[in-house]
Chains A and B, each alone.
Chain A
């Protein structure tokens, strides 16, 4: 249970980190919080020859409120910081709530938002929250910077759009919809969820309709965060509270959950329906509370 030997560098600037990454070859891994990577190293599921530790680069953990009402979050922002940041709780409370559900206090002190996204575990909370929030991710390499939508970043089981030489640098989210909900089932608090659903709902000021915007994303139910577009359409096409059970059934229909020792695919699909109802109900309640109809 010891990692294979590797070489280690702790660059002090982003420019150095980018150069090191470019020159270190294919067998290189970036070390952020290490709460997913180091278990993989210890179990020898990963055997990089070089580790580049980003923790010496100043400023990568900043959470910056923008003048547009959104947030720019450095990739090294820790889960504990997201969960307790006043600006995250005000502008993207779904993200703060998702961060509270990651692991345990000691894990949340070290684990980072960028690390969770780059690791791309399909049962993780934060990738689903960022897909729902329509986040934009900034990737940086020697060739420059590029931006990619969170929904296009996750390509499959622990696979992302990051190419060799690229660092996930920043996560940008706009001010979140007013109604939001989060529901998951895990065997024990802090475990990876068997299944979970995040929900966002909103409507224009003064609108007579209860819900004009809906975004539903499941986690632990596919090879990446799964958006339930058919269920979203059901919620926005009529009275969403009356359509709740139909939306839940559509979400369960849309996912292809894993079947493993922790839970059968059938049970997970059942959970998706229940959790969709819970998350959407929370979201509608918050929306009604925020702006009485």
Chain B
């Protein structure tokens, strides 16, 4: 039978790259990304699951990286804001955030983009109410919500227009 340990080796895929490390059991995924891997796009706000700034994708679903320990993710696939950003430039959703002035201090933006990405993948034509519901767990302490909702609305419209042209 396995014994509980204070340090463990993990192997996981982050933004398409396989990463192997030995980590302390108490290391959160958020701190693992930022401190051990230098992926500082994931922001750490409240550290108890309330603010949503640290939201990333774990095995394709959004999750709070401050509420997961890195040791839990042996074998998992993680995508952060860095993984959602093209090698050059910005994704259409990120461009929409810029165009709509949907960031003030920018602290909540990575989590907002992760949550909005998930919404648009599930629901290409969200209503304003559905956008607000999907982003309800992401706090913007600048209270810039109006422009954030506008950015997602416009990104959704652009996505649909683009798909229409492609067809």
Interface of A toward B, CB cutoff 8 Å? 1-12, 16, 19-20, 24, 31, 34-35, 38-39, 42-43, 50-53, 55, 80, 103-107, 109-110, 188-190
Chain B 34-76, CB-CB to A under 8 Å as 1, else 0, gives: 0000000000000111001001001001111011110110100
| B6 close to A7 (CB less than 8 A) | yes
Number of residues on chain B facing chain A (CB within 8 A): 35
Other-chain residue from B4, B8, B24, B52 in contact with A106 (beta carbon distance below 8 A): B52
Which A residues lie within 8 Å of B18 (CB)? Answer: none
Report the nearest A residue to B2, measured CB to CB. A9
Closest CB of chain A to B103's CB: distance in Å?
20
CA distance A109 to B31 in the complex (A): 21
Assess whether B137 is in contact with A16, with CB atoms less than 8 Å apart. no
Cβ A105 vs Cβ B118 within 8 A: yes
A24 CB contacts on chain B under 8 angstroms: 4
- B67 touches which one: A4, A10, A39, A51 (CB < 8 A)? A39
Cβ B3 vs Cβ A106 within 8 A = no
Interface majority SS (helix, strand, loop, mixed), chain B = mixed
Q: Which of A8, A24, A34, A52 has the most CB of B within 10 A?
A: A8
Q: Tell me whether B5 is interfacial, beta carbon within 8 Å.
A: yes
Q: Are A109 and B61 in contact (CB under 8 A)?
A: yes
A106 touches B48 (CB 8 A): no
Q: Given A8-B69, A19-B1, does the pair A104, B136 have CB atoms closer than 8 Å?
A: yes
Chain A residues near B74 (CB, 8 Å)? 10
Q: Is the CB of B61 within 8 A of A8?
A: no
Tell me whether B160 is interfacial, beta carbon within 8 Å: no
Is there an interface contact between B2 and A38, defined as CB atoms closer than 8 Å? no
Chain B contacts of A11 at CB under 8 A? 1-2
13 CB-based A-B contacts, threshold 8 Å: A2-B47, A7-B5, A7-B6, A8-B69, A9-B4, A10-B2, A31-B72, A35-B67, A38-B48, A104-B137, A106-B115, A189-B133, A189-B136
Distance, CA A50 to CA B25, complexed state (A): 10
Verify A34–B67 contact, CB threshold 8 A: yes
